[in-house]
Amino acid sequence: MQKERLQKYAELIVKCGLNVKAGQEVIVRCELDQPEFVAMVVEECYKCGAERVKVEWSYMPITKLSYNYRSLESLSDFTEVEKAEWERKLDKLTCMLWLDSDDPDGLNGTDSEKIAKANVARFPFIKPYREALTSKYQWCIAAVPGKEWAQKIFPGIPADEAIEKLWEAILSTSRVDDDPIAAWKKHNENLARHCKLLNDFNLVSLEYKSANGTDFKVGLNPIGKFVGGGETTLGKKIYFNPNIPSEEVFTSPMRGVADGKVVATKPLSYQGKLIENFWMRFENGKVVEVYAEKNQDVLEKMVSMDEGAAYLGEVALIAYDSPINNTGILFYNTLFDENASCHLAVGRGFNECLHGFENMTVEECHKAGINESMIHVDFMIGSKDMDIVGVTKDGKRVQIFKNGNWAI
């Protein structure tokens, strides 16, 4: 891949994704796959005035060994070092960047029940910090190619060719062309236009239908709002883009108001395992039945991680005719596949999807209908023939999607 184009991507991530400001600290979390590109990103952060940039490397085979050999007690431990790190993030409002390159099958052979129990045990320690940081710091998730990931998408060709093809897919769907920052400005304006249209309708529910078996109705929050694209931090009012790429307009629905069956249209990579050909059935807002042809046990554990894991935290609308879907590539990666077409998420909702959330406590947001959970997992339900109808407060029916694409 041309160095000049990679440099544009690094600049996009730092200036448009994170929007690093002078004096800020940055943490970059990544695998060992693209160290030269990580160095580009670090340099861009310093050029923007970052005071300190820390790179936290990981390697999935070692993570797998940790899960396999460590005891449940050890995995569940929340150390004093971790506590100090969270407190520093809260004090400094550290910018967080994740460069994802994970192997979709990288944790096959691990004990998913042990991992789930460890996460449940650690959650009460992490939860207060995460809530205190909500909407106060800049964060971004972007991607770089990993060898195993690239060969999963493009099997049967040499690794270097697969990596090059994945680089091209990542850069093109991330709008890395002549002027990526200008392209993202225009893109954010278009997402904001759709948000305004949806919010002006005053919708109370959405109804989904597709020939694959999806027949589903979800209730929307009476003080909720649709958002998408860039976000603005509270306090310092810094505008940033949390996902590169991103095509979604989304909201957090009303907890406990969802009924029907939703059929996934893409596999879900969850904790290094691939859940394939699955569906969920909801009653009174809660998942009451699931099925998967592959890794059903992982799906079942996912929606039973805690009480809120079986309820919805997000409803996202993305045109089937999206740049990501039009590549024809199944990425086996949620960052990309969730932005290919419409998706839902079980688990934690977003307080910022409520009007006036900045003047509400976390408890008030939950009381108002935002779901609470230790997980937030997106899964894709968009299809070429999907119709979505919105119902307004005065009972009118509005065609929101027709044949998979926007009708407004």
Based on C-alpha coordinates, what's the Rg of the chain?
Answer: 20
> Which residues lie below 8 Å from residue 27, measured CB to CB, with a gap of 6+?
53, 54, 55, 56, 89, 94, 95, 96, 97
Under the banding of pLDDT at 50, 70 and 90, the label for residue 78 is very high
C-beta of residue 340 within 8 angstroms of C-beta of residue 266: yes
Taking CA atoms, 3 is separated from 23, 119, 141, in Å, by 28, 39, 21
β-pairing, 239-240 with 231-232? antiparallel
Answer yes or no: is pLDDT of 112 > 90: no
pLDDT per position as a tens digit, 222-231:
999 999 999 9
Answer yes or no: is pLDDT of 200 > 80: yes
pLDDT for the residue numbered 363: 95
Alpha carbon distance 330, 110 (integer Å):
24
pLDDT per position as a tens digit, 136-172:
999 999 999 999 999 999 999 999 999 999 999 999 9
Backbone torsions φ then ψ of 236, nearest 5 degrees? -80, -10
Both structure tokens of 101: 């390159």
* Dihedral angle over CA of 123, 359, 17, 311, nearest 10: 40
Under the banding of pLDDT at 50, 70 and 90, the label for residue 271 is confident
pLDDT per position as a tens digit, 306-330:
999 999 999 999 999 999 999 999 9
CATH 3.40.1830.10 residue window(s) in the chain? 3-173
Percent of the chain with pLDDT over 70: 100
Strand partners, 99: 30, 142
User: b/e for 357-377, b at 16 or more Cβ within 10 A?
Assistant: beebebeebbebbbbbbbbbb
Query: The domain 3-173: what is its CATH number?
Result: 3.40.1830.10
